[in-house]
Amino acid sequence: MKKVILDCDPGHDDTLALLLAHANPAIDLLAVTTVAGNQTLEKVTRNARNVMTVAGIRKTLLAAGADRPLVRELSTGEYIHGVTGLDGYNFPAPTVPVDKRHAADLIIDLLHANDKITLIPTAPLTNIALAIRKDPTIIPKIEEIVLMGGTNSTGNVTPLAEANIWIDAEAADIVFRSGVPLTMVGLNLTHQAKATPEVVDRIRKLDNEVARMAVGLIDFFASTYKKYFHFDAPPIHDACAVARVINPDIVKCEFVNVVVELKGTYTYGATVSDMEGITGRPANTNVATKLDFDKFWDLMIEALGSY
């Protein structure tokens, strides 16, 4: 069983990542931390509370973190995730409490209190960067960072940059240069994880409120992905990072050098993935390349069916 902290910005796909991480027996979900990204910090934190309330997630700590990137102003993903940041389901009032600590402090405290923890960021890396900068002694205590973000092909906010990196590329640069064992689950991988109509039908057949919530959220996510990206089905990006931690065979990777572009007028936020080893720079990142679609959705649907 791996001890995990999920740092997220729910967010439709963050929600499925959270539900998978909590349900799968391979993961001991110590904490959920939130960061501004898909929506404001207030909204993503309320969304996390709402989801944890509906799912009956009680033993997992929840803390809110950064309300903006390290340097730039916040640019949210409202057009994709809606005004609430989690449109598509009417949530009851949340009952899950929020820890009084800042997310970065909770991450630091838990890393000192446990032997090794895997961090799964599925949002801008602001909290992770803050924790590393505030207390560098946590670095050897991080088993691995398995992040949803970046791409080794095309981006989704610019031709080369993916949202989680682009929103706070300075934070991403700190993380990619930290020396922590790193896996990057980027768009080139997550676009293989689409919630097709056949997949949604399998979820619809599950008879529990969490599955009904998931269907409502996926249906909304499908509508915005069709409108803005002309996708026939929405890619469930963030759950791919959790699946990699649960069963690495589901997400194949190549170990290469990745750096984050901070200066380019047209390339800011790009994760420059040296897949062919052209630069001679030392490899530092497992870059996800191939998803086992059937095993991924079997894992996800088994998790949703367990609530």
- Name the residues annotated as catalytic: 237
Contact footprint for ligand RIB (CB under 6 A) = 9, 11, 13-14, 37-38, 77, 122-123, 148, 156, 162-164, 237-238
Q: How far is the CB of 192 from ligand RIB (least distance, A)?
A: 14
Return the number of the residue (70 or 108) whose C-beta is nearest ligand RIB: 70
- The residue (of 9 and 168) whose beta carbon lies closer to Ca ion is 9
Closer to Ca ion by Cβ: residue 14 or 105? 14
Closest CB 193 distance from ligand RIB, rounded Å: 11
Identify how many contiguous H helices and E strands the chain contains and give both numbers: 12, 9
Which residues are near Ca ion by CB under 5 A? 9, 11, 14, 122-123, 238
Query: Please, how many CA atoms are within 13 Å of residue 45, restricted to the half-sphere of its CB?
Result: 20
Say which residues have a Cβ less than 8 Å from residue 218's Cβ, sequence separation at least 6: 12, 88, 195, 200, 203, 234, 236
Residue type, 14: D
CB of 124 to ligand RIB, least distance (A): 8
Closest CB to ligand RIB among residues 47, 118: 47
Minimum distance between the CB of residue 77 and ligand RIB, rounded to whole angstroms?
5
What SS3 state is found at 276?
coil
Closest-CA residue to 186 (of 206, 166, 203, 201): 166
Is 18 or 138 the residue whose CB approaches ligand RIB more closely? 18
DSSP 81-116: H-SSSS-SS-PPPP-----SS-HHHHHHHHHHHSS-
The residue number whose beta carbon is nearest to ligand RIB equals 163
Q: Which does 18 bind (CB under 5 to 8 A by kind): ligand RIB, Ca ion, none?
A: none
Shortest distance, position 239 Cβ to ligand RIB, whole Å: 10
Residue 163 touches which of ligand RIB, Ca ion, none (Cβ within 5-8 Å per kind): ligand RIB
Task: Answer for the pair 31, 57: CB distance below 8 angstroms, yes or no.
Answer: no
Cβ-count burial of 137 within 10 angstroms (0-12 exposed, 13-18 middle, 19+ buried)? exposed
Helix, strand, coil percent content, the chain, rounded in steps of 5: 40, 20, 40
Smallest distance, Ca ion to C-beta of residue 78, A: 13
Sheet with 182-185: strands ordered across? 61-64, 27-34, 2-8, 117-121, 142-148, 182-185, 285-291, 251-260, 271-274
How many C-alpha atoms does 249 have within 13 Å on its Cβ side? 3
Q: Which is nearer to Ca ion, 22 or 202 (CB)?
A: 22
* Neighbouring-strand partners of residue 258: 273
